[in-house]
Amino acid sequence: MECPAKERDGAAVLLDYCTRKLDPRSAAVVERHVAQCAACQDCIQAQQAVWAALDGWEAVPVSPDFDRKLYRRIEREERPARWGERLWPLRGLSLRPALSLALASVVLLAAILIRPAPPRPVHAPQQAQVESLDADRLERALDDVEMLRQLDAGSSAGSQSM
């Protein structure tokens, strides 16, 4: 085994050895090397001293009102959203259908308002139309008269034969 104290990756091995994170087989290899290497012995001893010194630094307990302060901050952030929900009368519903409906209404209204006005009626064509309508009526009336005449003729022929 190469001396782990002399290379950076090897230092991680020594660190893991000090913290007992190495598997038993690797730990045994390191132990055999350390037994005959003064540099590694010094390194391990110094690292264990650092470890013990760091162990002596206890953290101060968390304040009892930590959670209360946190939840107050959360509540403060959520409050505007809740007010928004209260103002929205259909809060159980999604906004998407309502928005679609509103958009469709606007488009429909715009179409009605923007639609071009019907062309102003011109006097002469209207007169022509009236004339053509009268001719049609006259023709139909004549047809009706002719039909009635035929019916009348048919019925009189029938009464004579009886």
Partner 1 sequence: MVAVAVIEPDAQLMLRVKEGDSASFALLLERHRAPVVHFLYRMVQNQAVAEELAQEAFLRVYRARASYEPTAKFTTWLFRIATHLALNSLRDGRFQRFHESLDQEDQQAASREVADRRPTIEQRLVDRARLEEVRGAIAALPAKQRAAVLMHKYQEMEYSQIARVLNCSESALKSLLFRAYETLRARLAHMA
Residues binding partner 1 (CB under 8 A): 8-9, 11-12, 15, 43, 45-54, 56-63, 66-67, 69-70, 73-74, 77
Rounded to a whole number of angstroms, the minimum distance from the CB of residue 47 to partner 1 is: 6
Nearest to 40 by CA among 30, 54, 52: 30
Rounded to a whole number of angstroms, the minimum distance from the CB of residue 103 to partner 1 is: 26
Rounded to a whole number of angstroms, the minimum distance from the CB of residue 11 to partner 1 is: 5
Q: Which is nearer to partner 1, 49 or 102 (CB)?
A: 49
Rounded to a whole number of angstroms, the minimum distance from the CB of residue 83 to partner 1 is: 18
Q: Which is nearer to partner 1, 51 or 88 (CB)?
A: 51
User: How many other β-carbons are positioned within 10 Å of the β-carbon of residue 30?
Assistant: 21
Q: Which is nearer to partner 1, 27 or 47 (CB)?
A: 47
Q: Which is nearer to partner 1, 67 or 131 (CB)?
A: 67
Whether the Cβ atoms of residue 128 and residue 135 lie closer than 8 Å to each other: no
Rounded to a whole number of angstroms, the minimum distance from the CB of residue 62 to partner 1 is: 5
Q: Which is nearer to partner 1, 67 or 139 (CB)?
A: 67
